[in-house]
Structure 1
Amino acid sequence: MSRLRERAAGLGLESPAATAWALYDWANSAFATTVVAAVFPIYYESVIGAGLSGNLASVYFGYTTAIGLALIAVVSPVLGAIADRYRAKKRFLAGFVVLGVVATTGLSLTGEGDVLLASGLFVLANAGFVGANVFYDSLLGHLDADPDRLSTAGYALGYFGGGVLLVVNLAWTLSPETFGFADTGAATRAALLSVAVWWAVFSIPLFRTVPEPDADPEPVAEGASGPVGAGFARLRRTAGEIREYPDLLLFLGAFLLYADGIGTIIRMASIYGREVGIGQTQIVGALVLVQFLGVPFAFLFGSLPGRSLLGRVDLTAKRALYLGLAVYTAISVGGFFMSEPWQFWTLAVAVATVQGGTQALSRSLYSTLAPTGKSSEFFSFFSISSKVAGVAGPALFAVVGQVTGSSRYSIVSLLVFFLGGAALLSRVDVDAGRRAAREADAEAAAGEGELAGGTGAGVGDP
């Protein structure tokens, strides 16, 4: 038993609260895999939108995804400020979980022709999923555990949890009669319902075990009217401070671009695959593969910085990101020509090799460009910005598909995000950015030393 506890602690699961926190990733990742990526997009295209002509199902799904993400991008900073000031992180988390679970349950009741109803429910379910993550992430820094290891443990549990339920759902849809379902449609609706149940049940340990953090002692900014005003005031203040670090700002712009492209591929791959004639079994099977391949490849890709490429080029985090963006560029181009199942599987494997690694390296590189004394507020801005970044990709996918009449042009239009992100990334001077961060930390430490020694100018002045 002691050896098991030691292994758990080595993964960051050092306490019941830390374990319960990480288990929520197991709970909500079922929504990301079954509803967002695999089963529901296919159901939306083949059943709900069966009466739609051409590629309208893909177009409507793109708009629906963009609306849901935009909604959360607008309200999350305000809700975050309210939760901080009124000691309500878990209450807001619970509210969004309930919203997501109820809306997902509603999705399981939709059928052919319910395009408007299904789209509205998906907007709400997506808002519940993303909104809950805002408050879930905010609890990490308040736990008595190593945040890096605990975050990684949650990430791994999410991959496995989402993958396990997706395998079950795949078995149901492949052989519905074996499991007592009348047909594939009934099995698919049961799969959607299983996500709601899974999400609700495995969220319970977090609410029972993780303590509610204390209220934020930071005073309301001058001129702010209540917590809503405080939320926007804090956002404006951080945006002003971040401009003092030009390389950090450039990297943030690059991240916003390529993260939007990555998120769009994750969310639109299944419905696009159906549009070009890939069968449901092939699509879900390939996504299951991505889910389980993602864990080792994330660690492998994350270990690239410090290694040599072909014995000649020393890889840095920035160069490793270039490699990941090159793979995504090839995926976008390959997606344009895709027509056979083996091509979908090949592109899925390519996604698995870089998906987790690019996201992990982006976060770690950003952390080295941000002063440690301001890491919390800068990462809050990073989190909010990444939610805004998720809107443009699905919207562009939908607009291009609607104008051209084919989502093949939509998938290749994502090159704008990957090439644009790479172009901005090329202008980031990582060494200069890190020096600026270290200098800011040194100045802050010197200021604190003067205050502690009673030599700070102006101390005590009204």
Structure 2
Amino acid sequence: MLSMDSKNHWRSRQVLSWALYDWANSAFATTVMAGFFPLFFKQYWAADLDTGNSTFLLGSFNAFASLVVVLLAPLLGAIADRGNARKRFLRYFAMMGVVMTGALYLVAAGGWMMALMLYAMAVIGFSCSNIFYDALLPEVARESELDLVSSIGFGLGYLGGGILFAFNVWMTLDPAFFGLADAAEAVKSSFLMVAIWWALFTIPVLLFVPESPATGGSGWLESVRAGVGQLRATFSKLKLLRQTGLFLAAYWLYIDGVDTIIRMAVDYGLSLGFDSNGLIVALLITQFVGFPAAILFGKLGERFGPRQGIFVAIGIYLVIILWAYQMDQVWEFYLLAVAVGLVQGGIQALSRSFYVRLIPRDKPAEFFGFYNMLGKFAAVLGPLMMGMVSLLTGSPRLSMLSVAVLFVAGALLLKQVDEVAGRAQARLLEE
């Protein structure tokens, strides 16, 4: 028999192993998605294109990647739950992201189409792997621990992503110290380092995090057939889960604003004429502020409830957008980076833990498929909306201001969600 101390030690190792996947893939989210890719795309791969066209292309390929996730996510989640294959699918999509990210190292100057294709495939791998990572949260956390454990994951993600990003920035500032020819080679080497980091820190979640027994057969064909059938059943169940549906609609809107700011912030700063080095410093500020802030939001969720914490974050995001619309100094971008760091991890972590409370406990991957589907469908609209407004008006400021509509609409829907009723509805549908 395990002693109580050894049981707690084992659970702590499971929580840490689970959270380390956030540490692993946040290197991609930070160094590639938010940092170097949009910057390097404009200045190296698409240097011959004008600003409006390059912004439109980047937004369009972000939208394409998100649309693929929209189409795949619900079915993948249903298959994984029926086939007890959450970790298997996590491994597959994580390795897809790793390989495509590493391949960016090979793309030469002017190769904007190849760069966008590899980037889109890496984003698909990143996004789909998160479906199965999120679905493992109930395996490592009791209900009373959901807010804090979810926040620990995002907190470690900010810290890990920030550490590697800071090292990558150092490489670009002093490439000769690392035996590199120039800053361009340093950036390309950073993509390779992200791939290695992502692969290495994926190992603990695959080895030490448990997975509930399958509710269907273990064969792949049988799992697919069962998954398709289960997906049909889930659509029917969602009609009965009114509060869950309301939350998903709210999440669909406000998380679009969050993802759009993450993906398009550097592009926006460049469009305003800010120096690229200053924008990279701002991203680093966001990462290191985000680590303690995500943990703090977890405590806030424990004390006042996750919905109240989400409302606080939405309010701060609206202030950020209004400030960004009128700013003209790079020091303002730094202050906004601090503000984003305070709420970015918190709103993501509390949304995840709030959603866990509103779904049947026996089908987490399937319902997180819908969760990620709506989140990524929102991300189809956000970057595309910014790109189109920029292309049509020639004003990056108006494109940023348009994002506020999504936060306001999301908050209005979230206000209608009744958590107590949502929990009761979800428990009734458990098998």
* TM range, smaller chain: 0.7 to 0.9
- Answer yes or no: is the 8 Å Cα contact 2:77–2:369 preserved in 1: no
- 2:51 matched residue in structure 1: 54
Whether the 8 Å CA contact 1:55–1:407 is kept in 2: the answer is no
- The aligned amino acid for 2:105 is S
| Between 190-199 and 352-361, the greater mean CA deviation after superposition | 352-361
Q: 2:264 maps to what in 1? A: 268
- Contact 1:257 1:389 survives alignment (8 Å): yes
**CA contact 1:276–1:338 (8 Å) conserved in 2:** no
Change in Cα spacing, 1:324 to 1:370, as seen in structure 2 (3 Å) is same
Quote the offset at 1:210 in angstroms: 4.6
**Between Structure 1 and Structure 2, how many residues are aligned?**
425
Larger RCO: 1 or 2 (CA < 8 Å, sep 6+): 2
Aligned to 1:129: 126
Checking the alignment, whether the CA contact within 8 Å between 1:268 and 1:394 is kept in structure 2 is yes
Do the aligned partners of 1:274 and 1:280 also contact (CA within 8 Å) in 2? yes
Residue 292 (1) aligns with residue 288 (2): yes
Classify 1:393/1:373 alpha carbon distance in 2 versus 1 (closer, same or farther; 3 Å). Answer: same
Name the CA distance, whole Å, in 2 between partners of 1:203 and 1:113: 33
Counterpart-to-counterpart distance in 2, 1:306 and 1:153: 13
Counterparts of 1:104 and 1:353 in 2: how far apart (Å)?
Answer: 28
- The counterpart of 1:256, out of the listed 248, 252, 255, is 252
**What one-letter code is carried by the residue in structure 2 that aligns with 1:401?**
S
Are 1:392 and 2:381 counterparts? yes
Q: Specify the alignment match of 1:25 in structure 2.
A: 22
Classify the secondary structure of the residue corresponding to 1:181. Answer: coil
1:341 aligns with 2:327: no
**Pairwise CA distance, 1:103:** 1.0
In the other structure, the counterpart of 1:37 is 34
Deviations 1:164-223 (A, max 9, x none): 101101111122223222221111111111111111222234444556654333899xxx
The range that moved more, 250-259 or 103-112, is 103-112
SS of alignment partner, residue 240 of structure 2:
coil
- Pair 1:434-2:423 in alignment: no
Alpha-carbon separation, structure 1, partners of 2:423 and 2:141: 26
Q: In 1, Cα distance between the equivalents of 2:307 and 2:79?
A: 36
Matched residue of 1:278: which SS? coil
Contact 2:81/2:364 (8 A) holds in 1: no
Preserved contact between residue 13 and residue 153 of structure 1 (Cα < 8 Å): no
Corresponding position of 2:179: 180
Aligned to 2:156: 157
Match in the other structure for 1:93: 90
Q: Percent identity?
A: 40
Worse-matched range after superposition: 257-266 or 197-206? 197-206
Q: Shift of the alpha carbon at 1:323?
A: 3.0
TM-score, structure 1 normalization: 0.81
Shift in Å, 1:370 = 5.0
Return 348-357 or 293-302, whichever deviates more. Answer: 293-302
Unaligned runs of 5+ in 2: none
- The residue correspondences of 1:39-438 to structure 2 (distance < 5 A) are 39-142=36-139, 148=146, 150-210=149-209, 214-217=213-216, 227-228=223-224, 230-304=226-300, 317-370=306-359, 378-426=367-415, 428=416, 430=418, 433-435=419-421, 437-438=423-424
The residue identity in structure 1 corresponding to 2:254 is Y
**1:282 maps to amino acid:** G
Q: What are the ranges of 5 or more consecutive residues in structure 1 without an aligned counterpart?
A: 308-314, 449-462
Higher fraction of helix: 2
Deviations 1:295-341 (A, max 9, x none): 2222334444698xxxxxxx765454333222212222222223321
Alpha-carbon RMSD across the aligned residues, in angstroms, is: 3.3
Structure 2 counterpart of 1:341, one-letter code: V
CA distance in structure 1 between the aligned counterparts of 2:380 and 2:29, rounded to whole angstroms: 16
Residue 425 of structure 1 deviates from its aligned partner by 2.6
State the distance in 1 between where 2:187 and 2:63 align. 24
Asked whether the 8 Å contact 2:105–2:191 carries over to 1, the reply is yes
Q: Which has the larger radius of gyration?
A: 1
Deviation of 1:371 after TM superposition, in Å, equals: 6.5
Paired residue secondary structure (2:49): coil
Q: CA deviation at 1:72?
A: 1.8
State how far apart, in whole Å, the 1-side matches of 2:302 and 2:132 are: 34
TM superposition score normalised by structure 2: 0.86
How far apart are 1:53 and its partner, in Å? 1.2
